[in-house]
Structure 1
Amino acid sequence: MLDILVQPRRNASAATRFFKRLPKGLRYKPKRLVTDGLRSYGVAHREVRPEVRQRVSRYLNNRAENSHRPTRGRERQMQRFKSPQQAQRFLSAHAMIYGHFRPRRHLMMAHGYRRARDNAFRVWKRETCVQVAG
Structure 2
Amino acid sequence: MTSGPATYPGYRFPAEIISHAVWLYHVFSLSSRDVELLLAERGIVVTHETIRRWFLRSGADLACKRRRRRPGPGDVWHLDEIFLRINGELHYLWRAVDQHGVVLDILVQSRRDASAAKHFFRHLLKELQYKPRRLVTDGLRSHGVAQREVLPDVRHRSSRYPNNRAENSHRPTRRRERQMPRFQSANQAQRFLSAQAMIHGHFRPRRHLMSADQYRRARAKPFRVWQQETCVQTAPQAANPAPLRPTPASTSTS
Compute the TM-score of the two structures, normalised by the length of structure 2: 0.48
1:66 and 2:161 matched: no
- Partner Cα separation in structure 1 for residue 231 and residue 147 of structure 2: 42
- Partner Cα separation in structure 2 for residue 51 and residue 107 of structure 1: 32
Deviation at 1:58, TM superposition (A): 1.1
Shift in CA distance, 85/125, structure 1 to aligned 2, threshold 3 Å: same
* Bigger radius of gyration among the two: 2
- Partner Cα separation in structure 1 for residue 127 and residue 109 of structure 2: 19
1:122 equivalent in structure 2: 224
Q: Which moved more, 1:28-37 or 1:47-56?
A: 28-37
Q: How many residues matched?
A: 134
Deviation at 1:116, TM superposition (A): 1.8
- Partner Cα separation in structure 1 for residue 155 and residue 209 of structure 2: 23
- Partner Cα separation in structure 2 for residue 115 and residue 26 of structure 1: 27
- Partner Cα separation in structure 1 for residue 191 and residue 225 of structure 2: 22
**Which one-letter code corresponds to 1:86 in the other structure?**
Q
Selected match of 2:181 from 68, 72, 79: 79
Secondary structure at 2:190 match in 1: helix
Which structure ranks higher in relative contact order (CA pairs < 8 Å, sequence separation ≥ 6)? 2
- Partner Cα separation in structure 1 for residue 119 and residue 129 of structure 2: 19
Structure 2 alignment gaps of length 5 or more: 1-96, 98-103, 233-241, 245-254
2:52 equivalent in structure 1: none
Partner deviation per Cα, 1:35-84 (whole Å, 9 max, x = no partner): 11111111000000011111111111112111111111112221211111
Which structure has greater helix proportion?
1
Structure 1 alignment gaps of length 5 or more: none
